[in-house]
Amino acid sequence: MTFLRPIILLFSCLLILSCSQIDEKRSANGEALGTTYSIAYYSEDLIPMDKALDSIFERVNQSMSTYRDSSDISKINRGDSLVEVDSLFQEVFLLSKEVWEKSNGYFDPTVGDLVNQYGFGPENGPKEVDSITIDSLMRYVGFGKMKLQDDIVIKESPEMYLDFNAIAKGYAIDLIGHYLGSQGVEDYLIELGGELLARGVNKDKGSYWLVGIDDPIQQMGQRELTAAIELRNKAMATSGNYRKHRTDPETGALYVHTINPLTGFAQKSDLLSVTVLAENCALADAYATAFMAMGYDLSKMLLSQEKDLEAFLIYSTLEGEMKEFATPGFKEVMKEL
């Protein structure tokens, strides 16, 4: 049996050599889509990131940026009915339609004119906001008045304005995740403008990626966390007007103002912040926006129906108390601060 010893020794050496090739933690940081990004990933080899990220951000901007006059979405918004949209646009359109339907219209990418009217979009503002103006704009609001036929967007009215800003950032994060996966990267954390996508683990810590949720009531220039969670192969998006809340002089309740796509008016919302966990960041991004418009009660109702979503809601009661609600799946990943 002595002839087996050289083979065993050779196998052992190969095993030791392979185990010694440990992935290194690497990072990429920069600015894109009007915000900043930060990527941490583990890989034995350095992944070519710069050109890949530039390509992803350029494709997203050229397809869906309302801040770029030459983009496909800007052309469509100007009434060009012959624009052939790319696969990215089509996927975001269909994901938006899904969330629009499930949220009963509270997520609506056709509120762009209203957003501009209130001064929150790429156009200068705010402008005059009254019932007559809002009623006239509401004629062009409603995602059901728009459809995708092959690669052409069909609108009931040329004046309809499409805005994917509440989902495109999350979708860009998903594209980055797909790229890292195509390069064999299994453990990474991507952050873009506060939204996150995690896969695998933080190998330095030997655990899932630990991330924080901002406290919606905090002083300007400070950052305080209200919760921390383990991000277990999920995407996370948070929406909330952290420093733009108002206090009801009669009840002391805290409110933020958000545009209701069903009425066209900026209304009080008792939700101060919502954090959503989903399988991909595009959906987490879109649902976080929808929940802010829906408010606490309607959000809880939708969460009870959508089992693939988990959420953490910070809301204000009529008595002026700030309270928290977490779905069972969200509670499972919460950690002590």
Provide the CB-side half-sphere exposure for 201 (13 A, CA).
7
Q: What is the pLDDT of residue 15?
A: 42
What's the rounded mean pLDDT across residues 6-14? Answer: 43
- Alpha carbon distance, N-terminus to C-terminus of the chain: 59
* Joined tokens for residue 181: 């996966």
Per-residue pLDDT at 5 exceeds 60: no
Q: What is the pLDDT of residue 267?
A: 76
Residue 22 is given by DSSP the state: P
Tell me which of 1.10.3980.10, 3.30.470.10, 1.10.1040.10, 1.20.140.10 is the CATH number of domain 70-155. 1.10.3980.10
Per-residue pLDDT at 65 exceeds 60: yes
Per-residue pLDDT at 321 exceeds 80: yes
CA distance 191 to 186: 16
CATH topology of domain 203-335: T-fold (3.10.520)
CA dihedral (268, 271, 274, 278) positive or negative: negative
What's the rounded mean pLDDT across residues 265-288? Answer: 92
Per-residue pLDDT at 11 exceeds 80: no
What's the rounded mean pLDDT across residues 65-88? Answer: 96
Q: Per-residue pLDDT tens for 116-160?
A: 787 766 555 556 678 898 899 999 999 999 999 999 999 999 999
Q: What is the pLDDT of residue 225?
A: 76
**Contact between 70 and 209 (Cβ < 8 Å):** no
Judged by DSSP in three states, 51 sits in helix
Mean pLDDT over all residues of the chain? 87
At residue 230's C-alpha, the angle toward residues 49 and 316, to 5°, is 110
* Joined tokens for residue 253: 């309740």
**Contact between 218 and 242 (Cβ < 8 Å):** yes
What's the rounded mean pLDDT across residues 48-68? Answer: 97
CA distance 62 to 101: 27
In the beta sheet, which residues pair with residue 252?
Answer: none
Q: Per-residue pLDDT tens for 134-145?
A: 899 999 999 999
What are the residue ranges spanned by the domains of the chain? Answer: 70-155, 203-335
Judged by DSSP in three states, 262 sits in coil
Distance of CA 173 to the CA centre of its chain: 8
Say which range, 92-106, 157-171, 239-253, has the weakest mean pLDDT: 239-253
CA distance 39 to 53: 11
Q: What is the pLDDT of residue 14?
A: 43
